[in-house]
Amino acid sequence: MSEYSGYDGNSLEFLKTNKISIGDSVKILADITYSGIIMPRYEHSDDKHIVLKLKSGYNIGLEISKIEEIEKIVSTEKIIEENEKIEKNEQLPNILLLSTGGTIASKIDYRTGAVTPVLTAEELNSSVPELAKIANIDAKVLFSEYSENIMPEHWLKIAEEVNQYSKSDYLGIIIAHGTDTMHYTSSYLSFSLAGFPIPIVLVGSQRSSDRASSDAALNLIGATKFLTECKTNGIYIAMHQDENDETIACHIGTRVRKNHTSKRGAFQTVGDDPAFLIVNNEIHNNMKTEFFTDKEFEPKIKINEKVALVKYHPGYDPSLLKHIIDSNYKAIIFEGTGLGHIGENMYSMVKMANEKGIFMGMTSQCIDGRVRMTVYESGRDLLDLGIIPLENMIPEIALVKAMWVTGNTENLDEIKEIMLNRIACEFSK
């Protein structure tokens, strides 16, 4: 990255005149006095402002014409991080942390002022020193992607990597992951690695680790504490229960979704309480039964991406469904209204899909509740046309399960049977 990335014109001249570069720690006198780190800018920004990262972690733009004085406090070259070497404590359990990206357990890169992921056990220990008192953490980077860029091919890489540790001496595995698509990844791992002998926890953060309100460290500490004491297996997502710092919730990987764009307690278990709560370092078990422990581990790490999630709405064009059918998709998951309905203008396309042997499953747009297609005549008509009700499966989880199932078999009867078989708590009993 250039020492003046994103700056041009007046703002570039301002920095050069004052011998300031990106990553320098500065004090600025304007309407008030500001202290922080000079940040890079977007390429298409104007040339009238500079960007400063405050100690709170927030970025602000300062108009250069209103800056009375700027003073370099520490230059980029003088900021050197030294991470203390750590030795394993033989009395503590071993935990593996696999990083896929996101802001969890990240740090400030003082060369640029940007947030970068923790890459080594030493960096992790430096970033979250409390972890060394709970477990020995081995850290490994699989890839570094924003969660919106994580695709089914990444799910396969994660599952294949995790599968290598099924007979290791690790007590559990943490997967650091961006939050936006984390429940897609957790659901794929839940199906492909059903019965995995040790617990797996996906952890993210809603706010980056350089912000005073960050949830990154506490989520990671909670996940580590959970792995060392839960005495169960299965795939979970560990995040803040609410805006407070007292409670971390561990959600079953197939019964959770992100329900808020930015709150720290964005993730919620749909239709039930979280499986576990970590309250002031104590584990509270809300599991009705130890469902995961009785599953024999037989990894099935395959996938078929030719599955569509169709969110029905008034005015939905049936020709869009025909395009899916003509594109040789193997399954269609409908996100229908209410108890599981779509408009009768869709019926001819549904009949065509059924005749072509495409699996069709019905979920609901409602956040909670169970699909019941026998209540109304329209639902019974759709049953006759071959659509299978999928209980209270979350639409996104049904999509991922259909990708996994059709990746493992092409037989329609087997697809129907497995989709209705409760593999990993994806629907309630």
Q: Which residues are catalytically annotated?
A: 103, 179-180, 258
**DSSP SS3 for 397:** helix
Contact 368, 359 (CB under 8 A): no
267 forms bridges with which residues in the sheet? Answer: 258
What is the tally of helices (H) and strands (E) in the chain?
10, 21
Rg (Cα) of the chain, in Å, rounded? Answer: 25
Q: CA 297, CA 166: separation in Å to the nearest integer?
A: 9
The one-letter amino acid code at 207 reads R
Cα separation of the two ends of the chain: 53
CA distance 91 to 75: 42
Would you state the structure tokens that stand for residue 112, as one six-digit string? 């640029």
Query: How would you write 152-203 as a 3-class SS string?
Result: HHHHHHHHHHHHCCCCCCCCEEEEECCCCCHHHHHHHHHHHCCCCCCCEEEE
* CA 125 to mean position of chain CA atoms: 23
Specify burial of residue 328 (Cβ count, 10 A radius: 0-12, 13-18, 19+): exposed
In angstroms, the Cα distances linking 174 to 84, 95, 199, 258 are: 22, 7, 9, 19
